[in-house]
Amino acid sequence: MPPAAAVMGTPASAYQGALLAEARHADTVFMMGDNPALPKMPERPALKDFFLLRFGRISRTHLLQSARVARENGLDEKVITACLLHDIAIAGLLPANHGYWGAQMVGPYVDEEVAWSIEKHEALRYFPDESVGYTYPAAYIDYFGPDYNPPDYIRREHETARRHRWYMTSRLVTINDIYSFDPDVVVDYDEFEDVVGRNFRQPEEGLGFDGSPVAHMWRTMIWPNNFL
Ligand SMILES: [Fe+2]
Ligand SMILES: [Fe+2]
């Protein structure tokens, strides 16, 4: 069952009625548990399991590549961690408003500054900062067209973030963001196991089962196809 918000206005919004009709057959049930089409997650999943078993290849490579560039640029571990996590909402949950979703997903497990910079990178990406060599990404002209204007709430977010003491941490996420996707680059997650160990508090019960206010977001990635 695709999420309602993702199918509104598309032919796929008719799925609900079709699936409900199908469920009336005695031998048919909705999916409520492991989807056999997906790799099985361990009982107590850690961040690495989501990277390897749930995130798509393009997103996974993008995150690992951004973190690698941040490390090569000699940035501190907060920035490397933020780069490694900045697009995890796109990778496994929801692309729209991904900075905000991503910040919430990792909020209980990382330094507040890391979560903040993930949230704000969403707005900062659209606005150049010549003083640190950040220009509007050429890729966005392809993605959104030459006339795209970010909405007012994004402009306000940018202005507020700009005055914040952690501005540069979030700005560094946008600077180390890799806007050109090179499918041939391979980066091993294990390169960052040490950084993750020091900067991401993995819950003992596993992500999705620690009773935190964001556990449901991780469970949605473990069982993305559950009917309810
Ligand atoms: Fe992003
Ligand atoms: Fe990104």
Averaged pLDDT of the chain: 95
Residues in a beta bridge with 134: 129
Residue 12 CA to ligand 1 center (angstroms) comes to 27
Residue of 214 and 14 predicted with greater confidence: 214
In tens, the pLDDT along 29-49 reads 999 999 999 999 999 999 999
pLDDT band (50, 70, 90) for residue 179 = confident
Beta carbons within 8 Å of 106's beta carbon, 6+ residues apart: 85, 88, 114, 115, 118, 200
Residue 55 CA to ligand 1 center (angstroms) comes to 15
Q: Count the alpha carbons within 13 Å of 211 in the hemisphere toward its beta carbon.
A: 2
In tens, the pLDDT along 124-164 reads 999 999 999 999 999 999 999 999 999 999 999 999 999 99
Residue 96 CA to ligand 2 center (angstroms) comes to 13
* Amino acid 180: pLDDT: 67
* Amino acid 210: pLDDT: 98
pLDDT band (50, 70, 90) for residue 74 = very high
For residue 198, pLDDT over 90 is answered with: yes
Residue 103 CA to ligand 1 center (angstroms) comes to 11
Degrees to nearest 5, angle at CA 39 with 179 and 183: 25
The token duo for 23 is 């469920």
pLDDT band (50, 70, 90) for residue 224 = very high
Angle of the 77-85 helix axis to the 57-72 helix axis, nearest 10: 160
